[in-house]
Amino acid sequence: MNSPRGLAIACLFSVALVSCAGLRSGDRGRVDDPTPEVRILSPADRAVLKGSEVPVQIETKNFDFAYSKATTPGTETTLPEKYGMVPQEANAGHVHVYLSPYPSEGRTGRTFFMVTTFEMPNTARFVVKGVKPGTYRLLVELVTHDHTARLKRHPRDWPSIDMITVTVE
């Protein structure tokens, strides 16, 4: 690439990369950069818990918790208010938690929970109550203010989720 044409192409490519760093994805808002991460600190994967409560602690990275900006959640049969209509704020949003029977063969009773407060900028503790005995998948997902999945910086970036299996006795 020592030719003038090669140098011009390299310069144009560099300018395109720099200008794409803050690229908007249609009307969906700014993409995350870097991609936010969430991790379930407790309970441990495959933990066996006694009683009817599942105490959970999560930690986030590259993510600003902003529950106060979340639109009204939906129900089992309706979408959340303004679903897919609020532009994503890069690296900000709220947390959805799902507790689903596993394996689901004939079992119902998925529990949905929204984390409403963080203790520190990146840590939350909460308890899912009224859990019946059985084995469950606990999934934690970082979402946008309108409850949709996050816009990733790159298609190969891992989604902003974490999941474990727990048994309640």
Strands 111-114 and 92-101: antiparallel
Q: Which position has the token pair 């900000």?
A: 92
**pLDDT for the residue numbered 159:** 79
Mean pLDDT of the 80-89 span: 77
d(CA 169, CA 21): 49
Mean pLDDT of the 6-28 span: 39
14 Cβ neighbours under 8 A, 6+ residues apart: none
Residue 90 confidence (pLDDT) above 90 = no
Q: Which two tokens stand for residue 8?
A: 């011009």
Residue 89 confidence (pLDDT) above 90 = no
**pLDDT for the residue numbered 31:** 82
Question: What percent of the chain is predicted at pLDDT more than 70?
Answer: 70
At position 87, the amino acid (one-letter code) is P
**pLDDT for the residue numbered 47:** 98
Give SS3 for 56: strand
Residue 153 confidence (pLDDT) above 80 = no
Matching CATH number, 4-168, of 2.60.40.10, 3.90.76.10, 3.30.420.10, 3.30.70.360? 2.60.40.10
Cβ of 49: how many Cβ atoms within 10 Å? 16
The model's pTM is 0.73
Residue 97 confidence (pLDDT) above 50 = yes
Mean pLDDT of the 43-68 span: 92
**pLDDT for the residue numbered 40:** 97
**Lowest-confidence region among 12-16, 77-81, 122-126:** 12-16
**pLDDT for the residue numbered 133:** 93
**pLDDT for the residue numbered 13:** 34
Within 13 Å and on the Cβ side, how many CA atoms surround 9? Answer: 6
